[in-house]
Amino acid sequence: MSKSEEKELKAFEDKIERVNREVNKPAKKKFDISFSSGWGLGVRLATELLGGVVVGAGIGLVFDELLSTKPWFLVIFLILGSIAGFLNVYRTANSMQSKERAHVKMSDGKQE
Amino acid sequence: MSSPMEQFNIKPLIPLEIDGYDISFTNSALFMTLAVVLSTLFIVLSMRRRSLIPGTMQSVVEVLYEFVAGIVKENIGPEGRKYFPFIFSIFIFVMFGNMLGLLPYSFTFTSHVSAVGTLALIAFLLNIVVGIRKKGWGWLHTFAPSGSPLIAIPVLVPIEIISFLAKPFSLTVRLAANMTVGHVMLKVIAGFVVMLGIGGILPLFFDCLIVLFEIGIGLLQAYIFTVLSCIYLGEALHEH
C-alpha cells in the first residue's frame, strides 16, 4: 500500500468515526419512536387478535365441511380462536414491554 | 372518474392457461419481476468495484447489509447467520415492492394478501422445518407448555396450535393493510384535487405530504415484516 493511499485510508477512518459519533445517539432515539408509534402498536395488537379469531373460524368451518356437523366445530373453534387471539395479544404486549425495558436499561448504561 | 380501489385490480398481460389453471402473467407478476430484477441490478452494479473505501452506491448497499445483519443478530442471535440470505432477500423484495408501488401508474403487489401471504408462508414453513431439525420430536412440545396440568391439555393444545397458525396471518394482514390504506388515501385525496378545481391546491399539497409519509411507511413496514420473520425463526431455534 502506497503512502498516499494509507493517508487517505486514515482520513476516511477518522471521518467514519466522527460521523458515527454524531449519528448514533439522536438517530437511535428517533427510530425507536417511529417503531413504537401508537398507530403501529394498535395495528399490531389488532391483527394479532384478529388472526386468532379468523384462523379459529377457518379451522372450524373446514372441520364442519369435512364431517358435516354444521355449526358445532365452528362454535368450538371460534371460542378457542378468540382465546388464542387474546393469548397472542398478551404475549406480544409482554415482549414489547420487556424490549422497552431492555432499551431503557441500555441507554441508561450509556449515559453513565 | 376511476374508483380508488381500481389500482388494486389484477389484469392479465399475457394470458396463459395450463390444464385449466389460470397462470397468466399479470401486472402483479410484472412488478414482482421488476422488483427482483431492479434489486439484483442495484446490488450487483453497486458492488462491482468492491473498493476498500466505498463510493456512494457501495455505501448504500453496505448500510443495507449491516442493517439487516443487525436485525438478524438482535432477534435470532449468532446462529442466525445461516439464515441471513433468506432474511435479506425478504427485506429487499418487500422494500422494493413498497417503493415501486409508489410510482405513478405502478402496481403495489405488497397490498395483495396472496403475494404477502406467500412470503409469510415461506417464513412460516422455514420456522417449522428449522424447529423440527433442531429439536426433533421435542418440537411438538411448543404446543404443550411444560408444567401444564394433564386435564388442561385437550384445551391448551388447540389454543396453542391456533395461536401458532395465526402468526403468519397477522404478519400478512399487517403489511397488506398498511399498504392498501395508504394507497386508497392517496387516491381519494387526489380525487379531491380534480373535484375542487382551483381550490385543489390544498389537497394537492396534502397529497405530496402523504407521498412522503408513505415512503416512510413502506420502509418501516418492510423493516417490521423482516423483524417479525426473524422473531419467528428465533422462536424455532430457542426454547421459550
Nearest-CA distance from B168 to chain A in Å?
9
Let me know: does B25 contact B12? Beta carbons within 8 Å. yes
Mutate to test the interface with B, among A4, A16, A30, A43 (most CBs of B within 10 A): A43
Tell me the three cell numbers of residue B108: 403495489
- Does the beta carbon of B162 lie under 8 angstroms from any beta carbon of chain A? yes
Task: Mark yes or no for CB contact B166/A88 under 8 Å.
Answer: yes
Give the mean pLDDT of B116-120: 91
pLDDT higher than 90, residue B36: yes
Tell me the three cell numbers of residue B99: 417503493
pLDDT higher than 50, residue A34: no
Give the mean pLDDT of B77-94: 88
Task: Mark yes or no for CB contact B159/A48 under 8 Å.
Answer: no
What number of residues does chain B have?
240
Tell me the three cell numbers of residue B32: 414482482
Contacts of residue B169, defined as CB under 8 A and 6 or more positions apart, other chains included, come to A47, A51, A54, A55, B117, B120
Residues of B whose CB is below 8 A from A34: 216, 220
Let me know: does B51 contact A12? Beta carbons within 8 Å. no
Task: Mark yes or no for CB contact A54/B166 under 8 Å.
Answer: yes
pLDDT higher than 80, residue A72: yes
Task: Mark yes or no for CB contact B173/A84 under 8 Å.
Answer: no
**Whole-number Å distance between alpha carbons of B206 and B201:** 9
Domain assignment present for B228? yes
pLDDT at residue A57, rounded to an integer? 92
Domain assignment present for B99? yes
Q: Which of B162, B174, B216 sits opposite A47 (nearest CB)?
A: B174
The three state secondary structure string of chain A is: CCHHHHHHHHHHHHHHHHHHHHHHHHHHHHHHHHHCCHHHHHHHHHHHHHHHHHHHHHHHHHHHHHHCCHHHHHHHHHHHHHHHHHHHHHHHHHHHHHHHHHHHHHHHHHHC
Domain assignment present for B185? yes
Domain assignment present for B97? yes
Domain assignment present for B45? no
Beta bridge partners of B25: B14
Domain region containing B217:
61-237
Domain assignment present for B21? no
Q: How far, in Å, are A71, B95, B188 from residue B199 at the CA level?
A: 55, 35, 16
pLDDT higher than 90, residue A40: no
Task: Mark yes or no for CB contact B166/A9 under 8 Å.
Answer: no
Confidence class for position A26, pLDDT limits 50, 70, 90: low
Task: Say how many domains are in chain B.
Answer: 1
- Does the beta carbon of B59 lie under 8 angstroms from any beta carbon of chain A? no
Let me know: does A77 contact A63? Beta carbons within 8 Å. yes
Confidence class for position B96, pLDDT limits 50, 70, 90: very high
Domain assignment present for B40? no
**Whole-number Å distance between alpha carbons of B240 and B228:** 16
Give the mean pLDDT of A4-24: 83
pLDDT higher than 50, residue B223: yes
Residues of B whose CB is below 8 A from A28: none
**Whole-number Å distance between alpha carbons of A108 and B1:** 56
Domain assignment present for B8? no
Tell me the three cell numbers of residue B208: 405530496
A-B contacts at Cβ under 8 angstroms:
64
- Does the beta carbon of A60 lie under 8 angstroms from any beta carbon of chain B? no
Nearest-CA distance from B14 to chain A in Å?
34
Task: Mark yes or no for CB contact A59/B167 under 8 Å.
Answer: no
Nearest-CA distance from B199 to chain A in Å?
31
Confidence class for position B178, pLDDT limits 50, 70, 90: confident
Confidence class for position A112, pLDDT limits 50, 70, 90: very low
pLDDT higher than 50, residue A31: no
Mutate to test the interface with B, among A47, A88, A90 (most CBs of B within 10 A): A47
Q: How far, in Å, are B7, B112, B124, B188, B190 from residue B4 at the CA level?
A: 7, 15, 32, 6, 9
pLDDT higher than 70, residue A106: no
**Whole-number Å distance between alpha carbons of B56 and B52:** 13
